[in-house]
Amino acid sequence: MMFKRITIIGLGLIGGSLGLAIKKQRLAQEVIGVSRRRSTVVRALSRGVADRVTLDAAKAVQGADLVILCAPVLKIIDIARDISGSLEEGAIVTDAGSTKKEIVKHIESILPDKVHFVGSHPLAGSEKSGVIYSDGNLFDNSYCLVTRSSWTEKSALEKVKKFWRRIGMKVEVMSPDKHDMIISKLSHLPHASSAALSNACSKAELRFAAGGFKDATRISSSSPELWKDIFLTNRKNIIRGISELEKELSKIKSALKKNSGKELMKLLEKAKTVRDSI
Amino acid sequence: MMFKRITIIGLGLIGGSLGLAIKKQRLAQEVIGVSRRRSTVVRALSRGVADRVTLDAAKAVQGADLVILCAPVLKIIDIARDISGSLEEGAIVTDAGSTKKEIVKHIESILPDKVHFVGSHPLAGSEKSGVIYSDGNLFDNSYCLVTRSSWTEKSALEKVKKFWRRIGMKVEVMSPDKHDMIISKLSHLPHASSAALSNACSKAELRFAAGGFKDATRISSSSPELWKDIFLTNRKNIIRGISELEKELSKIKSALKKNSGKELMKLLEKAKTVRDSI
């Protein structure tokens, strides 16, 4: 097997689904799950996402050769601090956080030299949260972005890449900076616009909400706690993204003000081309 | 049966699906389909959306007691002009256009007094277009907004309401003005923001587009021709909606600039409450 013991800290949708995928692919002799909440521990055991589940993160990482941090972004950094003294020599630590620059910078300075950190961002998930929605196929055929910094150890990087591939993902390696820039456009900006769209509607109007509105606002139903951290750790890119979005909105507004079908057609056709190219 | 002959003019996704639904519910002895394009006529016949299909709209409305206009918004008005001299006395004309104020105003002035027009907007559809995607269950359990103006004839209104209910829809009656205001928020504004979001992304970034981006931009894949007309006939409401969306985006930007987790949390929580209330 690839690993002796994998410890997953944080048992939400991602942590739980990872546990199921690891067991399905037989990537570890033992999977340990860690949650801060007793109720989650009970649910995680009943969903079978780990062989053992505990509330004690520091204890759970002892003897682990792979530790995966699956908490909200800012919590990931706190957890790294809590477990740093308990990690085995040679252990690999990775994460599933949606921003990478802040996480990589802090965790590389927190963890001892004998431990290897490699940042990861599996591009999978849904607007649902909680271990009860765990799905061992959640990651299939999606991309996992893995980061390489000047501190990244080569063999650890290779092992983490192999791990995500065995989980079923397509792996791409890039710098934390590049990751945060790309993902701000593809994930954080859509989230901001989805939230703004929801907030621009009054409840009275929502009665007739149909497919278009539901699709466009679906992600604003995600966990505010999770997303607050993502937003705070990728502020500059998201601010820049919102400005670009505002520029595009004002092009549409200007075409409407001029009553120009030709300009509208150009903007809508461009959008369709972009969207259809995915 | 409710109708002797129903003529559907415009055989896209909506017109085609209506044909299938009418036949499934046995609402007419005969369904005539009309398209401007010979290729659509062939496809419509093979999908079985009508008993007969023709290129000649004026001829096709002869003997029809219900005529449904299912074309892009501005085309609906042109078609009404083309058929106005051929409609039977007492015939009811309705439509499936996504804006109502312009359509109702123009068509009421175009059609002869002996014919009754009632505006309709079935809130159903998808980003797909074309008769080949026709689906007789497309309308099930969705809302159909039917308009009442000072010219609306009461018995015609009742018959149109009954028609949509038999198709499987929940019917709500409102003024064309109110319709356009509500729908600008629930459908046209999401469309504008979806298009703007797509246009704010470069193709190079799109490679890693995942569920969130796909959901938020799905509707920008719709027909530009269809949406150009919708935008042009609901300009003021959409301009106002974009301004409100910009206000909400700038609240998020301001929270990011202040690095305020508390403000972000408030905005994301509000959005989640709105979205979850649907």
Q: What is the pLDDT of residues A211-267, one digit of tens each?
A: 889 999 999 998 999 899 999 999 999 999 999 999 999 999 999 999 999 999 999
End-to-end CA distance of chain A: 36
Are A275 and B216 in contact (CB < 8 Å)?
Answer: no
Q: What share of chain A has pLDDT > 70, as a percent?
A: 100
pLDDT grade, residue A278 (50/70/90)?
confident
Domain extent, residue A208, equals: 179-276
Q: Is the pLDDT of residue B152 over 80?
A: yes
A119 and A240 share one domain: no
A37 and A56 share one domain: yes
**Closest CB from A185, A221, A276 relative to B201:** A185
Q: Does B147 touch chain A (CB under 8 A)?
A: no
A241 and A136 share one domain: no
* Residues in B 159-218 with any Cβ partner in A closer than 8 A: 172, 182-183, 185-187, 189-201, 203, 205-218
A34 and A153 share one domain: yes
pLDDT grade, residue B126 (50/70/90)?
confident
Q: Is the pLDDT of residue A3 over 90?
A: yes
Q: Is the pLDDT of residue B134 over 90?
A: yes
A58 and A112 share one domain: yes
Are A228 and B261 in contact (CB < 8 Å)?
Answer: yes
Residue B120's pLDDT is: 98
Residue B203's pLDDT is: 77
Are A243 and B220 in contact (CB < 8 Å)?
Answer: no
**Domains contained in chain A, number:** 2
- State the nearest Cα–Cα gap between A60 and chain B, in angstroms: 30
Residue B205's pLDDT is: 80
Q: Does A259 touch chain B (CB under 8 A)?
A: yes
Q: Does A140 touch chain B (CB under 8 A)?
A: no
Q: What is the pLDDT of residues B30-47, one digit of tens each?
A: 999 999 999 999 999 999
pLDDT grade, residue A205 (50/70/90)?
confident
The mean per-residue pLDDT over the stretch B48-77 comes to: 96
Residue B53's pLDDT is: 96
**Domain final residue, candidates A124, A153, A174:** A174
pLDDT grade, residue A187 (50/70/90)?
very high
CATH number, domain of A42, equals 3.40.50.720
Q: What is the 3-state secondary structure (H, E, C) of chain A?
A: CCEEEEEEECCCHHHHHHHHHHHHHCCEEEEEEECCCHHHHHHHHHHCCCCEEECCHHHHCCCCCEEEECCCHHHHHHHHHHHCCCCCCCCEEEECCCCCHHHHHHHHHHCCCCCEEECEEECCCCCCCCHHHCCCCCCCCCEEEEECCCCCCHHHHHHHHHHHHHHCCEEEEECHHHHHHHHHHHHHHHHHHHHHHHHCCCCCHHHHCCHHHHHHHHHHHCCHHHHHHHHHCCHHHHHHHHHHHHHHHHHHHHHHHCCCHHHHHHHHHHHHHHHHCC
Are B200 and A220 in contact (CB < 8 Å)?
Answer: no
Residue B46's pLDDT is: 93
Global pTM reads: 0.86
Q: Is the pLDDT of residue B204 over 80?
A: no
The mean per-residue pLDDT over the stretch B232-247 comes to: 96
The mean per-residue pLDDT over the stretch B1-28 comes to: 97
CATH number, domain of B252, equals 1.10.3660.10
The complex scores an ipTM of: 0.87
A170 and A183 share one domain: no
Residue B35's pLDDT is: 97
B13 and B93 share one domain: yes
Residue of A nearest to B261 (CA): A228
**Domain final residue, candidates B120, B144, B175:** B175
Are B248 and A195 in contact (CB < 8 Å)?
Answer: yes
**Domain final residue, candidates B175, B194, B210:** B175
Q: What is the mean pLDDT of chain B?
A: 95
Q: Does A124 touch chain B (CB under 8 A)?
A: yes
A189 and A163 share one domain: no
Contact A183, A99 (CB under 8 A): yes
Q: Is the pLDDT of residue B157 over 90?
A: yes
A193 and A118 share one domain: no
The mean per-residue pLDDT over the stretch A148-152 comes to: 96
Q: Is the pLDDT of residue B271 over 90?
A: yes
pLDDT grade, residue B167 (50/70/90)?
very high
CA A57 to CA A53: how far, in whole Å? 10
Q: Is the pLDDT of residue A126 over 80?
A: no
Residue B144's pLDDT is: 97
B79 and B213 share one domain: no
**Closest CB from A200, A212, A225 relative to B219:** A212
B184 and B253 share one domain: yes
Residue A211's pLDDT is: 82
**Closest CB from A172, A265, A270 relative to B228:** A265
- State the nearest Cα–Cα gap between A44 and chain B, in angstroms: 25
**Closest CB from A123, A172, A199 relative to B274:** A199
**Closest CB from B183, B196, B259 relative to A249:** B196
Q: Does A228 touch chain B (CB under 8 A)?
A: yes
Residue of A nearest to B193 (CA): A249
A150 and A189 share one domain: no
Residue A32's pLDDT is: 98
- Chain A to chain B Cβ contacts (< 8 Å): 294
Tokens of A265: 């057609």
pLDDT grade, residue A67 (50/70/90)?
very high
Residue A110's pLDDT is: 96
Are B218 and A253 in contact (CB < 8 Å)?
Answer: no
